[in-house]
């Protein structure tokens, strides 16, 4: 077979036809619902049929070598073999060249005309067969998308201002929360849910950067203009609009605004029966994507990605949306709506997943002992149910990973679950933030930093995300970069809790630099309470006021020795004092009380002063952590020495 054809070629081998342009695969006349990455790997092999494609080349071409493990590629090859009817031991299509890569060995027929799209696509396996009214809605959606593309192409190009890079304008967007015009504040969950669904769906389009909810929803009140929002989020377009439900009818108005000049470049109104909500969501997303001139990676995301129940149960979906509305501000209140959704639809995988998530968060944050163990056990049953119903739901694997780390400290299994999740979510999904925390726990600071940057790229206004980045940079001794991160964080809207956390980090940075007075000043800006007492006690240990330092430590021993997290905080103070015996005594107490220390010790520069102490290695072994010498984080002494040599 000759060299690769163009990227928009079509291929035929055996009973399989592949339309590269439309990313569509048909076998024996039936659509093969390949996930986008699997389709991309298949096309790479077809483009270079007859040649061995190395694993590195595939990882680079399909994933950009973004810290994807070889196991992910193994899984994708296994999926292709299963769906194409191939056999690893006796291959007809894909041959494994051990230690090197893969080769497409099948006989390709002459180039064929692109496959004609069916009137109604075959449904993904996780969804039921579409109803007749949904087929009509899909046809309308496709017409709307074509009309939107045509109207965009006729828009005068001269209107694009020179200050806005044309590529960025086409390839980046933020979906602002759709305004609730229903006259009932309780209906906000619906408008926010539709906004979320639009974010999720647009994230599936090729080459389109979509900002996450955490940042885009900060502009709910409409006080800032399009130019300002675009500059803060780093996007070329905004999607704005409104939702109004009146009885059995639903009206959605959508407009696409160019941030460079604030011009509305496309607008459309959709009036549909509420019972057609799910078809309407897809219709809106296709129309917006058409206006933005972007191409779907493979197929519209199925029910599982967009949060919709495969059964089409609108009542269960409404309960689910209420749960997601509560989840960020008050996770405990989200438990009941998610539980209601599972009662209304026992096969609702997403509701089971997020119910497990909020229950895990509740147990970790507010419970201990038997109560926590009971809650964790319930969360395990819930996430197991979710993955039984939907094994390929990336967020569910991330939630299981979170549970394994929080409840069992089973770090390796948690990391394996995160790897599964990362292969199924976008490059800016919040899962990258979660896996960053786990990698930091394992002392893998470089990987953790890469994953943290991915998350920030998709959620640029998340103050806490930059706070975690500060910790990674600081423990690597990159103090100037850590300080720059704090300055960026200072420019964001900080809640009261985040402001205190920010002050704690500024105080800690001063400790690493040996600036006792500055550290104490920062600590004293915090609100009175537990966190302020801990920060002041640390700051005093590097100063000359020994009596004050002793008194601050004694205050912690008297007031916090028995509370969650107190033992770990006391161990850190003893670390600055150089008292190894007390450090490991209080770390032991922290572990006995299921405290947070085990999550931090391998990137805590204060504790890593004692990384060569056999007791540290024993602690890590008992906790299932890598040995302390494996951590990439630097100790306090190493950081201070490097600063002194400047």
Statement: residue 50 has pLDDT above 90: no
Taking the C-alpha atoms of residue 141 and residue 135, their distance in angstroms, rounded to an integer, is: 10
Model pLDDT, residue 493: 73
Same-domain pairing of 96 and 142: no
Higher pLDDT, 577 or 137: 577
Distance of alpha carbon 450 from its chain centroid, rounded? 13
For helices 314-327 and 349-366, the axis angle rounded to 10 degrees is: 30
Same-domain pairing of 187 and 234: yes
Mean pLDDT, range 451-477, rounded to an integer? 94
Reported as type and span, the H/E element at residue 326 is helix 314-327
Order across the sheet with 10-13: list the strands.
Answer: 10-13, 16-19, 24-27, 30-31
Model pLDDT, residue 146: 31
Place of tokens 């209420």: 322
Cβ atoms of residues 291 and 151 within 8 Å: yes
Statement: residue 119 has pLDDT above 60: no
Question: How sure is the predictor about 515, in pLDDT bands with cuts at 50, 70 and 90?
Answer: very high
Same-domain pairing of 136 and 270: yes
Taking the C-alpha atoms of residue 641 and residue 646, their distance in angstroms, rounded to an integer, is: 9
Does 490 fall in a domain?
Answer: no
Does 400 fall in a domain?
Answer: no
Domain closes at, from 259, 291, 306: 306
Model pLDDT, residue 8: 53
Same-domain pairing of 81 and 149: no
Beta bridge partners of 246: 249
pLDDT tens, residue by residue, 408-447: 999 999 999 999 999 888 777 889 999 999 999 999 999 9
Statement: residue 348 has pLDDT above 90: yes
Model pLDDT, residue 40: 85
Does 233 fall in a domain?
Answer: yes
Same-domain pairing of 288 and 176: yes
Percentage of the chain lying above the pLDDT 70 cut: 85
Place of tokens 């009817």: 85
Q: 10 Å Cβ neighbour count for 383?
A: 27
Same-domain pairing of 568 and 619: yes
Same-domain pairing of 71 and 173: no
pLDDT tens, residue by residue, 8-46: 568 899 999 988 877 788 888 887 777 777 888 999 899
Statement: residue 642 has pLDDT above 80: yes
Question: How sure is the predictor about 304, in pLDDT bands with cuts at 50, 70 and 90?
Answer: low
Phi and psi, residue 27, nearest 5°: -125, 125
Domain that holds residue 172: 132-306
Does 190 fall in a domain?
Answer: yes
Model pLDDT, residue 66: 46
Same-domain pairing of 76 and 207: no
Does 42 fall in a domain?
Answer: yes
Same-domain pairing of 221 and 79: no
Statement: residue 121 has pLDDT above 60: no
CATH number of the domain where residue 240 is located: 3.40.50.10610
Question: How sure is the predictor about 70, in pLDDT bands with cuts at 50, 70 and 90?
Answer: low
Model pLDDT, residue 2: 40
Of the listed ranges 41-45, 65-69, 244-248, 289-293, the one predicted with least confidence? 65-69
Q: Give how far Cα 432 sits from Cα of 407, 445, 447, 458, 626, Å.
A: 20, 14, 11, 10, 21
Question: How sure is the predictor about 288, in pLDDT bands with cuts at 50, 70 and 90?
Answer: confident
pLDDT tens, residue by residue, 206-230: 778 899 988 999 888 777 889 999 9
Domain closes at, from 306, 339, 361: 306
Beta bridge partners of 249: 246, 273
Does 113 fall in a domain?
Answer: no
Statement: residue 289 has pLDDT above 70: yes
CATH number of the domain where residue 67 is located: 1.10.10.10
Same-domain pairing of 163 and 266: yes
Upper half-sphere CA count for residue 591 (Cβ side, 13 Å)? 20
Q: How many domains does the chain have?
A: 3
Q: Give how far Cα 587 sits from Cα of 207, 445, 550, Å.
A: 47, 22, 20
Same-domain pairing of 200 and 291: yes
Does 440 fall in a domain?
Answer: no
Cα-trace Rg, the chain? 27
Does 33 fall in a domain?
Answer: yes
Same-domain pairing of 155 and 72: no
Domain closes at, from 270, 289, 306: 306
């Amino acid at each position: 077979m000759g060299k690769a054809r163009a990227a928009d070629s079509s291929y035929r081998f055996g009973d399989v036809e592949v339309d590269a342009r439309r990313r569509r695969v048909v076998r024996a006349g039936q659509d093969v619902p390949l996930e986008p990455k699997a389709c991309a790997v298949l096309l790479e092999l077809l483009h270079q049929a007859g040649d061995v494609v190395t694993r590195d080349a595939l990882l680079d071409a399909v994933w950009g070598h973004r810290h994807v493990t070889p196991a992910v590629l193994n899984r994708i090859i296994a999926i292709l073999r299963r769906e194409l009817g191939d056999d690893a031991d006796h291959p007809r299509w894909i041959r494994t060249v051990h230690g090197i890569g893969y080769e497409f060995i099948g006989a390709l027929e002459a180039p064929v005309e692109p496959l004609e799209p069916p009137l109604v696509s075959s449904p993904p396996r996780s969804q039921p067969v579409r109803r007749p009214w949904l087929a009509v809605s899909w046809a309308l959606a496709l017409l709307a998308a074509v009309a939107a593309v045509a109207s965009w192409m006729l828009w005068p190009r001269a209107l694009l201002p020179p200050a806005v890079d044309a590529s960025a304008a086409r390839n980046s967007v933020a979906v602002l929360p759709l305004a609730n015009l229903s006259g009932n504040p309780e209906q906000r969950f619906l408008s926010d849910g539709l906004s979320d669904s639009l974010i999720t769906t647009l994230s599936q389009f090729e080459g389109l950067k979509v900002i996450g909810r955490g940042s885009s929803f900060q502009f709910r009140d409409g006080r800032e203009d399009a130019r300002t929002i675009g500059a803060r989020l780093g996007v070329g377009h905004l999607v704005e609009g409104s939702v109004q439900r009146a009885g059995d009818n639903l009206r959605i108005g959508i407009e696409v605004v160019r941030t460079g000049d604030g011009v509305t470049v496309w607008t459309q109104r959709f009036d549909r029966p509420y019972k057609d909500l799910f078809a309407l969501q897809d219709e809106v997303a296709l129309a917006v994507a058409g206006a933005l001139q972007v191409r779907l990676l493979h197929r519209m995301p199925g029910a599982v990605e967009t949060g919709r129940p495969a059964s089409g149960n609108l009542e269960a979906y409404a309960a689910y949306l209420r749960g997601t509305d509560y989840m960020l501000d008050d996770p405990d209140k989200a438990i009941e709506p998610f539980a209601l959704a599972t009662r209304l639809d026992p096969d609702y995988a997403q509701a089971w997943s997020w119910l497990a998530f909020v229950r895990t968060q509740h147990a970790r944050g507010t419970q201990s002992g038997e109560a926590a163990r009971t809650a964790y056990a319930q969360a395990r049953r819930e996430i197991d149910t979710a993955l039984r119903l939907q094994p390929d739901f990336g967020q569910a694997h991330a939630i299981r990973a979170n549970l394994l780390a929080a409840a069992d400290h089973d770090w390796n299994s948690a990391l394996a679950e995160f790897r599964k999740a990362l292969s199924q979510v976008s490059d800016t999904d919040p899962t990258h933030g979660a896996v960053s925390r786990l990698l930091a726990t394992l002392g893998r600071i470089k990987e953790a930093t890469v994953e943290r940057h991915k998350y920030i790229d998709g959620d640029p206004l998340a103050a806490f995300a930059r706070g975690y980045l500060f910790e990674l940079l600081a423990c690597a001794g990159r103090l100037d970069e850590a300080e720059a991160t704090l300055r960026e964080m200072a420019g964001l809207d900080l809640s009261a809790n985040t402001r205190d956390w920010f002050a704690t980090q500024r105080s800690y940075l001063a400790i690493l630099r040996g600036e006792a007075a500055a550290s104490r000043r920062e600590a004293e800006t915090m609100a009175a309470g537990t966190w302020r007492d801990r920060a002041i006690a640390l700051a005093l240990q590097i100063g000359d006021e020994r009596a004050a330092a002793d008194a601050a430590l004694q205050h912690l021993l008297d007031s916090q020795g028995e509370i969650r997290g107190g033992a770990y905080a006391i161990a850190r103070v003893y670390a600055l004092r150089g008292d190894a015996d007390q450090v490991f005594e209080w770390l032991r107490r922290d572990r006995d009380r299921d405290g947070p220390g085990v999550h931090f010790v391998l990137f805590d520069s204060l504790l890593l002063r004692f990384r060569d102490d056999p007791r540290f290695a024993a602690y890590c072994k008992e906790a299932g952590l890598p040995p302390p010498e494996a951590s990439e984080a630097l100790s306090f002494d190493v950081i201070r020495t490097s600063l002194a040599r400047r």
